[in-house]
Amino acid sequence: MKSNLMVAFGIIFFAFSYTHSYALESLEIEKIERLIKEHKLADGLNNHQKFSAYAVLARELELYGYLDKSIEIYNKAIKLIPKDIDPLEINSGLLSVLYRHDIKEAKKFFNHSFKKNIALSKSHVKQDLLKHWNKVFSRKISEKDHNGFYGQYFKDMDIKSLMQKKDYKYAFKLVTPKGLKQGNINSKLQYDVISRLNGKRSGFLCESMLTQFKDSSAITMEMCRYLQSKKTKYGNLKSLQKRAEDEMPHLKYLVNAMEDIQ
């Protein structure tokens, strides 16, 4: 395991550093290494699990500003996409990062790969996204309007509604781990639950509090335990759902969604 992890990290570090003209500072190296460890990409995952892990890692690398590394991981995820996964989400993620990184490359990907890759997509937003990107690359829309489209289309959508509809992929587009280390436990759990439903397997934000309150029977701590191992310390998931309904109804939508954790 350790040797496999070091090989994986070595490959990623080489590819990442090669594309930059400057040397990575130790903090940046530690971030990448931590992300690799958190997503357990060195473990023997099956194709579906590896796809999910790569998809989450690609998004987190983008959020940390590592665009070229995010692009590389997105491409790996696309090559592994399972037949039961709609291709629109992962290809849209790659197109968005490419646009931020290199507009010419983004346009090339859109014209030669994106349209072909999403041909079988049954997503209700497919046509809207195609129309939007056609406008972007034909310069019929400003950068401000482009950002506004994604802001309106994704970020302003109601997370709770998406969770209740089990549309976890789009819910994931609306959340970010940035600034959450100092956030409250409810905000951390929202990100943790959504990222777990999208393939993340460890390194949850709620764990720092769980370490301090190992024996706590609080709903939030039981949720964190379930994210780690699909087990609670007191009762089971059904009793936790009932407690959330009675005691913390604002967390009910998250606890209910946890029954879909694989």
Comparison of pLDDT for 152 and 19, the residue scoring more:
152
> Are 10 and 99 within one domain?
yes
Identify the domain boundary among 75, 96, 123: 123
- Please count the helices (runs of H) and the strands (runs of E) in the chain: 16, 0
Residue burial 95-123, b: 16+ Cβ < 10 Å; e: rest: bbbbbeeeeeebbebbeeebeebbeebeb
* Residue-number span of the structural domain to which 190 is assigned: 180-260
Q: What is the mean pLDDT of residues 160-184?
A: 82
Identify the domain boundary among 82, 99, 123: 123
* Inside any domain, residue 143: no
* Inside any domain, residue 158: no
Q: Please give the structure tokens belonging to residue 17.
A: 């550093």
Lowest mean pLDDT among 52-61, 105-114, 224-233: 52-61
Provide the phi-psi class of 231: left if phi over 0, else alpha when psi is between -120 and 50, else beta. Answer: beta
| Cβ pair 102, 132 in contact under 8 A | no
Provide the phi-psi class of 98: left if phi over 0, else alpha when psi is between -120 and 50, else beta. Answer: alpha
In this model, does residue 9 exceed pLDDT 50?
no
> Are 29 and 108 within one domain?
yes
> Are 119 and 190 within one domain?
no
Comparison of pLDDT for 121 and 21, the residue scoring more:
121
**What is the number of domains present in the chain?**
2
In this model, does residue 261 exceed pLDDT 60?
yes
| Cα–Cα distance for residue pair 58/22, rounded to 1 Å | 22
In this model, does residue 157 exceed pLDDT 80?
no
* Inside any domain, residue 10: yes
> Are 104 and 199 within one domain?
no
In this model, does residue 161 exceed pLDDT 90?
no
* Inside any domain, residue 141: no
| Cβ pair 227, 196 in contact under 8 A | yes
Q: List pLDDT tens digits, range 99-117.
A: 989 999 999 999 999 999 9
> Are 6 and 118 within one domain?
yes
Percent of the chain with pLDDT over 90: 37
Q: Please give the structure tokens belonging to residue 158.
A: 């109601």
**SS3 label, residue 38:** helix
User: Where residue 93 sits, what CATH number does that domain have?
Assistant: 1.25.40
* Inside any domain, residue 156: no
* Inside any domain, residue 211: yes
Identify the domain boundary among 123, 138, 154: 123
> Are 95 and 190 within one domain?
no
